[in-house]
Copies of this chain bind each other. A is one copy, B any other.
Amino acid sequence: MLTLHLARGTISVAAHIALEETGLPHELAWLDFGRAEQTSESYARVNPKLRVPALVTPDGILTETPAILEHIASLAPEADLMPADPWAAAKAREAMAWCAATFHVAHAHKMRGARWADDPDAHEAMAAKVPETMTACASLAEEMLTITDGPWLLEAVSVADFHLHAIARWLPGDGVDLAPFSRLQSHAAAVASRPAAARALSHHG
């Protein structure tokens, strides 16, 4: 059995989609970030980083979205959620690394400025730049989607698409106008039209 620790509004929707897509037996352990449940002592024993997602497996606990996504894919090879071709796998990993280290980080500066500065004025300055940085990231994601004839990052759907989509969901709330980004809109529609992905998304508002 797998247990996914997750919270609404967070990147954990990507791992949730991956689990639904694979059909792997799993349980969901919801955390309420509004009540700061991720900082509880009991959750610190699951993930000392106090973040979601965390995946509890028979082998141990795994954190970090790119690692969790690829591990879920590896547990259900018949779902074909990571490319078998080594170069395509490398490109999937490149997309996920960028999502985690650049796109997600840009978004985090809206609400999580306290991670990187103590001065409230600095938090405001960070939040003020989020529409610009997220627009730049959306523009790069749009370019990434031109490499195939769409709708996916690679020739077929992969866990990298779930990672990208989980972050792209934040764009309107981050002040980004999606109108210029038709491929990102098609990407979102393609994810949402998959019954398994839609089942997961329905829990995340």
Taking Cβ atoms with an 8 Å cutoff, the residues of A that contact B are: 48-49, 57, 59-60, 62-68, 70-71, 74, 86-87, 89-91, 93-94, 96-98, 100-102, 104-106, 109, 115-119, 121-122, 125-126, 128-129, 133, 140, 143
Contact = CB atoms under 8 A, between A and B. Distances in A.
A90 B68 CA distance: 7
Contact of A70 (B93, B100, B109): B93
A148 B88 CA distance: 32
A60 B88 CA distance: 10
Number of copies: 2
A48 B94 CA distance: 14
A122 B117 CA distance: 8
A130 to B, nearest CB: 9
A90 B116 contact: no
B48 A62 contact: no
B62 A90 contact: yes
Contact of A118 (B87, B100, B119, B128): B128
